[in-house]
Structure 1
Amino acid sequence: MRQQLVQLLYGVSISSDLDSGNVELAERLILNAVLDGLEIGRAGIWLLNAENTAIECRLLLDRENNQEIQTLVLPRDAYPAYFKALDTQRTITAEDAHTDPATFEFSESYLKPLNIGAMLDAPIRYKGKMIGIFCCEHIGGARHWSEDECSFIGALADLYGRALSAQENERTNAKLERANQLLEQRVAERTRTLEVTLSELTTMQEKLIESEKMASLGNLVAGIAHEVNTPIGIAVTANSSAKDKLNTLNKLIESNTLTKTALLEGMNHLNECFKISFANLERAAKLISDFKQTAVDQSSLNLLETNIKDYLENILHSLMPLTRSHNIEVDIQCNDDLKLITVPGALSQIFLNLVNNSCVHGFVGRDQNKITISVTVDKQSDTYSICYLDNGHGMSEDVMHKVFEPFFTTKRGNGGSGLGMSIVYNLATQALQGEVSIDSKPNNGVTVTFKLPMKLA
């Protein structure tokens, strides 16, 4: 290749305009290099439309008339020979554009009025697909296009693909930046809501602890404190996971290694984290609202017809950040069509407590953790049983006999309140009008069995 062409290519390849993400700057840079290198009067970038039915002028520089053109459109059906050549040839080298099989259709309408005698068109390919052409137009008579000139225009077409990649990366980076800002804004909003909620809850607890008896404290009052902390903890975990994923995506962008697959996976992960966070924050807010309306009266919980398996799956899904962090496998064994008249809110609080207790007490320092929830129906007694089983550390007989007592905990001084299992007992026997029993041995897991009526009065 001639030294002049090599120098022009080098100048374009090292220009910051090429990788700036501003494709308009790159187009002007490349077209000016085409005009200088081939010593022609007109050069343009034409891109195929989305339907592949026409080719549209992106930018055409006309030095002969000192003009810039961006409004020309060539429909495929008006120039079938030219489009056939575009579809099948690597490069169109029309030394006499008026007679060449690929370009003769332009003779009367385009070439003669502009005194164009020869054309050199090179395809622009992006991600393996032809998206347009570089069109080089020689003013005057016929012209022979050398192999060096064809290679030169082909190399510039490849550099234009690099500019398009930079533009796409810039747009992707901007989208991720907006997503990051939106996430930070939502986290800040949820944090402010959380602070207000915790402040209200703390005030309510202090007043009730002073005025209520021990039996009342073992009921909904203490349950609210424990139950709000659980969905809040899950929401914080989900937000943390989302932040980690955003950091990972930002690193991929900075290293220019972000792929479409990684972006889609990242956005799916963020959507999942948002769903989990929003669902649990809404649950916490609802608990506070219910508490204000009903005080310590559990009987006000609503009765609903509920598909038990679907509802249990929804509960465990909301706890996914917690179970995943402890490597817990969850198995729900229940008839798909089992529907009951019950208090789903009470079931939700019970299993939130049970799973949380398994994580805090049963699975510490253990691998291959598993939780099994099985539901069976006794038609003769018109009852059903729910059996919750974990394969954790288990407990001694002495601890097992005290586990339902309010404020009893083996984690005194380490954040344990001793209210979780007391809440489970009260919800099962009062809100769900049933019975609850527990069985456990050291290093042999815990089994909690609920016997509940099929229909609540």
Structure 2
Amino acid sequence: MRQQLVQLLYGVSISSDLDSGNVELAERLILNAVLDGLEIGRAGIWLLNAENTAIECRLLLDRENNQEIQTLVLPRDTYPAYFKALDTQRTITAEDAHTDPATFEFSESYLKPLNIGAMLDAPIRYKGKMIGIICCEHIGGARHWSEDECSFIGALADLYGRALSAQENERTNAKLERANQLLEQRVAERTRTLEVTLSELTTMQEKLIESEKMASLGNLVAGIAHEVNTPIGIAVTANSSAKDKLNTLNKLIESNTLTKTALLEGMNHLNECFKISFANLERAAKLISDFKQTAVDQSSLNLLETNIKDYLENILHSLMPLTRSHNIEVDIQCNDDLKLITVPGALSQIFLNLVNNSCVHGFVGRDQNKITISVTVDKQSDTYSICYLDNGHGMSEDVMHKVFEPFFTTKRGNGGSGLGMSIVYNLATQALQGEVSIDSKPNNGVTVTFKLPQKLA
């Protein structure tokens, strides 16, 4: 191929217009190269229509008349010989377009009026299919088309296929961009919806947790009320008996029949009544005091220096109605003088939930129930551990792995909310800034271990 054609072909192949995705720029680039390389007056790009019944002009540059044409249509049924040649030949080289078997049909209607003497048409193929042609039209008489010129025009036709691929890629990328934008919008909308839903669920969960805490406190109130009634009732009975005995002594004094024996017997009776009354009123006062402290602590998460053993005993004493009704023996193993800066309210809520859990799940239908709470200090790590152990039914591995999940319960429909152990976990890890773990096997009880800092910030 002669050097001029090689240079033109190279210039087209490296042009950004070819791969821009704008096929109109590529068409103009290719046709100008055709006109310059073949030194002809007219060149056009024609594409078959979708039905393959006609060939339509995309762009025709006419340098002879300084025109651009885009409206020409050549029907297949009007020019059957030409279309047959398109369907079967690689390139149409009509050196005398008026007599060539492929182009003679254009002589009267097209060639003579425009003074076209020769034509060179190269098929455009895209994805293995012939979709159109690059048509080169020589103004004047007949012309010999060299092999270099045929190769040149064929290479440009192939480059037009590259431009069509770039256009398709551009359209595909545009569709993908629009799809991504729509997807991002949908994701953003759904994210906003999920955030609102999550916020609502978080608020609802907080309310449910507070409700669960109040429900636990309510159960404690009911138990305490029942427990306090017993010593107060005994005290009232003792006081009533003492009053009756005083009335009897008064009558003996008034009738002047009081004997030493009757006086001593009356004094002994009054003394016994006062002992019974005082002991039971003291017991009731202790219950009420422990309950009051537990209730106040549960509603407050303030940092306080706390004697751990005393505080645990107060908590378990306030839970006596619950432990007594399930025949539970409680053993607290802790140094008497261990004082820590902690959140006693969190401890109170934790052990209320643990004991309640043992009663509801662990000790149902069992006797000789026992809860052991042991406290040990690790001075090296400045931490302490509380181990809560019951000898109840225990739990399966599957239940154990889910036990701290909010709303998980094995008593669904039987009063279980699924929040008790979740509250225990949250209080231990957040309010007490520690760690909590659980270990259990069926028929082998439950062990809950807390590792907590000795001083909370």
Q: TM-score, with normalisation over the residues of structure 2? A: 0.50
Give a deviation string over 1:24-61, Cα, whole Å, max 9, x none.
Answer: 11111110010011111000000000111100000000
2:224–2:321 Cα contact (<8 Å) kept = no
Give a deviation string over 1:317-340, Cα, whole Å, max 9, x none.
Answer: 999999999999999999999999
TM-superposed deviation, 1:246: 96
- Mark the runs of 5 or more structure 1 residues left unpaired by the alignment: none
Q: Within 1, Cα distance between the matches of 2:161 and 2:259?
A: 17
Q: Within 2, Cα distance between the matches of 1:258 and 1:73?
A: 144
- SS of residue matched to 2:58: strand
Give a deviation string over 1:347-397, Cα, whole Å, max 9, x none.
Answer: 999999999999999999999999999999999999999999999999847
Q: Against the structure 1 CA distance between its residues 134 and 399, is the aligned structure 2 distance closer, same or farther, given a 3 Å change threshold?
A: closer
- Matched length: 457
Q: Within 1, Cα distance between the matches of 2:133 and 2:149?
A: 15
Q: Within 2, Cα distance between the matches of 1:102 and 1:251?
A: 151
1:245–1:270 Cα contact (<8 Å) kept = yes
Deviates more, 1:417-426 or 1:326-335: 326-335
Q: Against the structure 1 CA distance between its residues 124 and 403, is the aligned structure 2 distance closer, same or farther, given a 3 Å change threshold?
A: same
- The residue aligned with 1:352 is 352
Q: Against the structure 1 CA distance between its residues 28 and 176, is the aligned structure 2 distance closer, same or farther, given a 3 Å change threshold?
A: same
Q: Within 2, Cα distance between the matches of 1:355 and 1:175?
A: 62
Deviates more, 1:221-230 or 1:253-262: 253-262
Deviates more, 1:137-146 or 1:295-304: 295-304
Q: Against the structure 1 CA distance between its residues 230 and 107, is the aligned structure 2 distance closer, same or farther, given a 3 Å change threshold?
A: farther
- The residue aligned with 1:230 is 230
Q: Within 1, Cα distance between the matches of 2:167 and 2:157?
A: 15
Give a deviation string over 1:156-215, Cα, whole Å, max 9, x none.
Answer: 001111111111111111111111111111111111111211222222232233235799
1:41–1:139 Cα contact (<8 Å) kept = yes
Q: Against the structure 1 CA distance between its residues 15 and 393, is the aligned structure 2 distance closer, same or farther, given a 3 Å change threshold?
A: farther
2:298–2:349 Cα contact (<8 Å) kept = no
- Mark the runs of 5 or more structure 2 residues left unpaired by the alignment: none
Q: Within 2, Cα distance between the matches of 1:421 and 1:18?
A: 69
Q: Against the structure 1 CA distance between its residues 335 and 317, is the aligned structure 2 distance closer, same or farther, given a 3 Å change threshold?
A: same
1:79–1:105 Cα contact (<8 Å) kept = yes
Deviates more, 1:445-454 or 1:238-247: 238-247
Identity of aligned residues (%): 99
Give a deviation string over 1:6-26, Cα, whole Å, max 9, x none.
Answer: 111111111111111111111
- SS of residue matched to 2:345: helix
Give a deviation string over 1:111-157, Cα, whole Å, max 9, x none.
Answer: 00000010000000011110000000000111111111100100100
Q: TM-score, with normalisation over the residues of structure 1? A: 0.50
1:385–1:450 Cα contact (<8 Å) kept = yes
1:38–1:149 Cα contact (<8 Å) kept = yes
Q: CA RMSD in A?
A: 33.3
Q: Within 1, Cα distance between the matches of 2:294 and 2:67?
A: 77
1:402–1:408 Cα contact (<8 Å) kept = yes
- SS of residue matched to 1:122: strand
Q: Within 2, Cα distance between the matches of 1:236 and 1:89?
A: 123
Q: Against the structure 1 CA distance between its residues 435 and 54, is the aligned structure 2 distance closer, same or farther, given a 3 Å change threshold?
A: farther
Q: Against the structure 1 CA distance between its residues 402 and 65, is the aligned structure 2 distance closer, same or farther, given a 3 Å change threshold?
A: closer
Q: Against the structure 1 CA distance between its residues 228 and 251, is the aligned structure 2 distance closer, same or farther, given a 3 Å change threshold?
A: same
TM-superposed deviation, 1:418: 6.0
2:209–2:423 Cα contact (<8 Å) kept = no
Q: Within 2, Cα distance between the matches of 1:255 and 1:132?
A: 142
